[in-house]
Each structure stands twice: as structure tokens, then as C-alpha cells.
Homo-oligomer: A and B are copies of this chain.
Amino acid sequence: MTETPTLSHVDDQGQARMVDVSQKTSTARTAVAAGRVIVGAEALRLIRENEIRKGDVLTVSNVAGVLGAKQTSRLLPLCHDVNLQNVEIEFSLDDEAGAVDVRAITKTEGPTGVEMEALTAVSIAALTIYDMCKSVTKEIEITGVRLLAKTGGRSGDYRRPAGPRNN
């Protein structure tokens, strides 16, 4: 017989379940995530002038974020393997807040969304900024890591409502 076997009586033993996407249709999908790294005025100036001792903070963090996005399913246990068509990371410097804003876009064609890939790209890029600036100041903080928008998939498109935290 050819029907798919099923598991009976799981009994809540070993509680970690991927979503079975074998019945989902493949569509074009994108996700946009953002986050902020508050580094303070001094570190922000050094980043802008490319004078952080460990190197070019934004390019190194960009590389780390892109590589991190491609590791998502190895880092987050219940995420599916995805062949990303693109990972794009943008940084902007907010002088007033003494912060680097990180934004990532991910794209694929497939049965699963790429929200977690965008959020992982932002998180790993943010951690790399943290690592490269921590000899300048210890008062660093990563905030506002969140999904801004997604397209594709059965649940449809999404755009995060505007609000005090949502730029």
C-alpha cells in the first residue's frame, strides 16, 4: 500500500512538532524584519567613521546576518529547510537614539514562510554589532526585533500596524 504512515497515540511525550507542510502549496514569499541596537553616541560615531578597532562594523554584520539567515533551520528546531532566493540587510544610523537600525528582507519560493529567516538575519547582525562595539561601551541593548511585513502563503499578506514601536 502507498498511503502515508501516521503516528498514533503521541501521548504528549516528547513535545516538539514541526508543521507538516507536505500539503501546502508553493508560492512566492517575502518577509521583512527589523531590530535596533542601542550603542550610544560614542560607538555610533566610531561606526560611522569606520574607526571601530575590530573593523567595518556594518559590512561584517551584514555578512554575519546573511550567513545567519541561511542557518535558520539549524538554529531554530522547528523551522523547515528553505533555499533562500535572497537575503538583503540594510542599516541606518539614528544619531538621536545612538542606535543602529537593522532591517532584513528574505525571499523564497516554497511551502513555508521566511519570517524566521528575516528575524534570524536581524538578530545575528545585531549580535555582531554588539560584539564589535562592546570594547567601547558595555551599555549596549538590542530591542525591537520584530516582523514588519510578509507576503505569500495561505494566511495572506501582513503589514505590522503602525505604532510607537513600529517604524
Residue of B nearest to A110 (CB): B83
The reply to whether A63 and B60 form a contact with Cβ atoms under 8 Å apart is yes
The reply to whether A59 and B4 form a contact with Cβ atoms under 8 Å apart is no
Number of copies of this protein chain within its complex: 6
Q: How many angstroms between the C-alpha atoms of A139 and B89 in the bound complex?
A: 22
Residue of B nearest to A84 (CB): B81
The reply to whether B131 and A160 form a contact with Cβ atoms under 8 Å apart is no
Of the four ranges (under 10, 10 to 19, 20 to 34, 35 or more), the interface on chain A belongs to 35 or more
The reply to whether B86 and A14 form a contact with Cβ atoms under 8 Å apart is no
A83 touching B82 in the complex, CB below 8 Å, given contacts A16-B59, A74-B70: yes
Q: State the Cβ distance, A1 to closest chain B Cβ, in Å.
A: 7
Note all chain B residues with C-beta closer than 8 A to A139. Answer: 160-161
The reply to whether B138 and A123 form a contact with Cβ atoms under 8 Å apart is no
Q: State the Cβ distance, A111 to closest chain B Cβ, in Å.
A: 7
Contact of A56 among B16, B85, B157 (CB under 8 A): B16
Asked if A43 is an interface residue, CB under 8 A from chain B, the answer is no
Residues of chain A having any CB pair with chain B under 8 Å = 1-7, 9-11, 13-22, 28, 30, 32, 35, 50, 53-56, 58-64, 66-68, 70-71, 73-93, 103, 105, 107-111, 115-116, 119-120, 123-124, 126-128, 130-132, 134, 138-149, 151-152, 157-161, 165
29 pairs, CB–CB < 8 Å, chain A vs chain B: A4-B30, A4-B151, A5-B30, A6-B105, A7-B105, A9-B92, A13-B90, A13-B92, A14-B90, A16-B59, A20-B86, A20-B88, A21-B85, A22-B109, A59-B63, A60-B77, A63-B64, A67-B75, A68-B75, A70-B74, A70-B81, A78-B131, A80-B83, A82-B83, A120-B127, A123-B123, A138-B160, A139-B161, A141-B165
